[in-house]
Amino acid sequence: MSGLQIVVCGSLVPDPLQTLEPATTPTGPGLKNELMLPAVLDPWAGHALYEAANLAKSHPGTKVYLVSVGPKAKLQQLMMNIAQKVPFELVAVDASASGFTDPFEVASALAGAIEKIPGLDRSRLLLFGGCSSASRDAGVTLQLVGEKLGITDQFLGVDELQLQGDGSFKVYERIEGGQYQVSTCQSAPAVLGWATGKLPIPPNNPQVGMQNMRAIMPALQKAAAVKVGAEGVTYDKVEVPNQRRETQIKKDLSVDEIARELVEWIRN
């Protein structure tokens, strides 16, 4: 089969190892010192990117694009890390990466950027992304992008994709009970929202990083600014849930007594 065009939608999220404190900013709700927080590639989007690069490696002629919506300065910091992982071409959109954004507006920005990719061939297009997100987990963003691009074959919770020689492919989607729903799609285009996939995080490769950065820096410089928010939505308050700890030290309680006290505590 001829090479594919794999477009991966994925952006930055605050490093989960940091303390994230909600705050009200002049532009709406956000995180305290958000611009100062170290950022990482969204974990689910990372799985999608690594799976895309693995497919490109085993199928000559396939090209991988990473479409990211986020502040240019933060995207540049992020690219310094992930550029060494796998080969890709960056398509950047300079906009908010906040979790307080409307998925329809985010999808519009992503779809607009994808449509402007030079030489885009929808008959060879696979749209990848995470089935979830560590920040903008509305659960519908990737599906909306697919709808805006006119792609109706959509698969979510994907763990494996097997390309066939005739251009068709099998998709393994997670379902209940640790089992998979196996679907066969005759050809591209299709949308695939990845779960965790089957690949580890690739090791750093400085040569791949240098090759990627030659194109990443110009892509960041010409990134179009887009306003992405939640027009018409207001938030009364954003806060971290309060931690509650009630400790009692009791000795010589039977298992049944411990269980009964736990049930009573939960009910109260």
Q: Is the pLDDT of residue 34 over 90?
A: no
Distance, in Å, from the CA atom of 81 to the CA atom of 85, rounded to the nearest integer, reads: 8
Give SS3 for 65: strand
What does the block give as tokens for 249?
Answer: 């030290």
Residue 226 pLDDT: 85
Q: Indicate the CATH number of 5-225 among 2.30.180.10, 2.40.30.10, 3.30.1050.10, 3.40.50.620.
A: 3.40.50.620
pLDDT at 254 over 60: yes
Give me the percent of the chain exceeding a pLDDT of 90. Answer: 50
CA distance between the termini of the chain = 62
What is the pLDDT at residue 241?
Answer: 67
The mean pLDDT value for 140-162 works out to: 93
| Residue 2 DSSP class | P
pLDDT category, 129, cuts 50, 70, 90? very high
pLDDT, residue 136, reads 67
As a whole number of angstroms, the distance between CA 186 and CA 188 comes to 7
| pLDDT, the chain, mean | 87
User: Could you tell me the pLDDT band of residue 47, with boundaries at 50, 70 and 90?
Assistant: very high
CB 49 within 8 A of CB 88: yes
Q: By the 8 A CB rule, do 214 and 221 touch? A: no
**What's residue 56's pLDDT?**
93
Higher pLDDT, 238 or 16: 16
Q: How far apart are CA 57 and CA 87, in angstroms?
A: 9
| pLDDT for 194 | 93
Q: Report residue 13's pLDDT band, with 50, 70 and 90 as the boundaries.
A: confident
Among candidates 128, 91, 96, 93, which has minimal Cα distance to 109?
93
User: Rounded distance, CA 17 to CA 31, Å?
Assistant: 14
Beta bridge partners of 89: 65
pLDDT tens digit sequence for 55-93: 999 888 999 999 999 889 889 989 988 999 999 999 999
Report the predicted TM-score, pTM, of the whole model to 2 decimal places: 0.82
Distance CA 200, CA 207 (A): 20
Residue scoring higher pLDDT (134 or 199): 199
- List Cβ neighbours of 140 (8 Å cut-off, separation of 6 or more): 103, 107
